[in-house]
Structure 1
């Protein structure tokens, strides 16, 4: 863990917090809540308590078409939110902020030694990568055994998460941000997105909230005093 820029400490922090508190928001220092009430996000997880009759899941080809035709998340789309509540198929480990590219393009090829995957599915645009530094997670059996367990174990193995010689800077060939490797690695972010994609049919709609009206991300700015903006979030 001494090489902090491998970010191998982050899965351990998340796993221990989930163990101790049951449900958590994990935020990097660049993330700011812009709303006090985030119950509309939590509803995507709490729906599992009451769901009894889900509509049939769309086949992969239909979900490819949906990804191509539907507008990317912008604010809070109530129609998509209502559909997600009715389907109630999202996982209980939710990401939120789109990173601007796919998973395959920024994941070191050696990672697949540890995580066998379907590369043809991983090249599709519905296998988008989302920021690992902004997470809402609930301690359920699925979360801990199917997601956090593998995230945690990969962090303990340097050659899994902290690939030797890996760099953050990417060079996307022909501006292809999905189907070609860009020569970079996003460490913990690559791993958690790969684990989630493998678990949820290589479709980001099942591991992200699709709601972006409650936060903003500010990176690389000067140090500012945000004391007057501090407060508590509410889950109603």
Structure 2
């Protein structure tokens, strides 16, 4: 009975669709299901945590390893892949290594090259300095040797009445290096003329005569000049001796000669006037490209002399200062100018002397040459607004006779150039007197002579200054040809003063 009721209760309950409470009636089955689910979840979580931990703790190299199957190993594809990967890594490492090595080598090479260049530059500088020092030393030694040689020559020439051929040849070669025998011959002839004129000079005797001269006031042109007859006689004798010496060594032109040639262009140069002479040479090269320019060297150094001699048509000539007494060495007194004019005139027979400081500006020169043939001299310049009396030291009158009244009234001639012909008339009336004054210290440069003038309103009174050889030329010409210079002075633009802004561009023809 009891078993049937329980069965019925169960069946009816199902048939009626009621809810079965298994947990109530079956508690062990419910407990087992819940635990299984929990275990599965815990195992999954553990597996995930373990996998994540292993992934995070793997090295980088293992992370990059691609999964390889057994089939890949059998086929060998995996091995090739790994090999290629390792080769790529090795190649990349080698390239980086080579790149670093190359960079280091390049830096090292640059440093080595820079050091070598620095050493080369330093070596070149040292060589240049050494060469420069040697050049300066050689130049100094050369100048000293040349000076000693010239002093020795001057002494020997002064002590003898004739030139020693060996000495003459050596000094010409040392200083000018002549290009041919003809040029050497001309240089030696010039030196011989200057030597013979120098033999007529005695600076001690001139000083004694100057001391003996009385100091007088000659500011009044009406007052006559008291001259020492002995001084006058000695001066005249010296002039005659000069004429004799020059006549024996020069070509004398006949009276009434006519020449269609342009007289040789002659000038002189010093270290102070070399730029001016370059301007003059450039102008002659431009207007008279076929004519030679003879430049007398006063005190140039070797480099300056070589530079001038390399200019087209320039012919260097020597003025041998060491042959003359010490007062000739002062170039500011212009004793050298009449002596060079005389030497050049003896060599070339007719010359065109041009003062440094001027340049040729036209071709209108042929007419001047024709005008100069009579009386044999022509001055290219201008009449000043002051008199020759105003710019002449009174002691010059002790040597040069002059009508001072006429000198007081006539304007002074400012000379730029002179055309001179070597005739007997010119020699006897002009050149021998000018040269004799040049070799007398106190004729051309009296004691107290000064270049700066203080003119009065009229420009005629003595201005306490002196024009050296220009004053002497004015006096001698006016004594000879009169105080109206229309016959021996030409005013022309043929010569112009050199502008300080002009640039000299002479042509070079030889080294």
Flag whether TM exceeds 0.5 (same fold). yes
Q: Is the 8 A contact 1:197 1:204 kept in 2?
A: yes
Q: Which moved more, 1:109-118 or 1:29-38?
A: 29-38
CA distance in 1 between counterparts of 2:498 and 2:349 reads 28
CA distance in 1 between counterparts of 2:413 and 2:401 reads 20
Deviation of the 1:165 alpha carbon: 2.1
Q: Does 1:202 align with 2:483?
A: yes
Q: Does 1:4 align with 2:331?
A: yes
> Which of 420, 432, 447 is 1:164 aligned to?
447
Deviation of the 1:166 alpha carbon: 0.9
Deviation of the 1:99 alpha carbon: 5.5
Q: Residue by residue, what CA displacement relative to the aligned partner does 1:89-136 show, whole Å, maximum 9, x if unpaired?
A: xx3222121262221110001111111211121122xx3222344111
Q: Does 1:214 align with 2:214?
A: no
CA distance in 2 between counterparts of 1:201 and 1:134 reads 20
Q: Does 1:20 align with 2:304?
A: no
Provide the secondary structure at the position in 2 that maps to 1:171.
coil
Identify the structure with the greater helix proportion: 2
Q: Residue by residue, what CA displacement relative to the aligned partner does 1:177-229 show, whole Å, maximum 9, x if unpaired?
A: 23x111100001100111001111222213212x403221227x26732327x
Q: Is the 8 A contact 1:98 1:131 kept in 2?
A: yes
Q: Does 1:184 align with 2:465?
A: yes
Provide the secondary structure at the position in 1 that maps to 2:489.
coil
CA distance in 2 between counterparts of 1:186 and 1:111 reads 11
**Which has the bigger relative contact order, CA under 8 A and spacing at least 6?**
1
TM-score, reference length from structure 2? 0.34
Bigger Rg, which one: 2
Q: In the alignment, what sits opposite 2:366? A: 39
CA distance in 2 between counterparts of 1:150 and 1:189 reads 13
CA distance in 2 between counterparts of 1:10 and 1:16 reads 10
CA distance in 1 between counterparts of 2:353 and 2:429 reads 19
Q: In the alignment, what sits opposite 2:405? A: 120
Distance change in 2, residues 1:20/1:39 (3 Å): same
Q: In the alignment, what sits opposite 1:85? A: none
Structure 2 gap segments, 5+ residues each:
1-327
Distance change in 2, residues 1:38/1:133 (3 Å): closer
Q: Does 1:140 align with 2:423?
A: yes
Provide the secondary structure at the position in 2 that maps to 1:193.
helix
Q: In the alignment, what sits opposite 2:504? A: 225
TM-score, reference length from structure 1? 0.71
Paired residue total: 180
Structure 1 gap segments, 5+ residues each:
49-90, 231-236
Q: Is the 8 A contact 1:132 1:192 kept in 2?
A: no
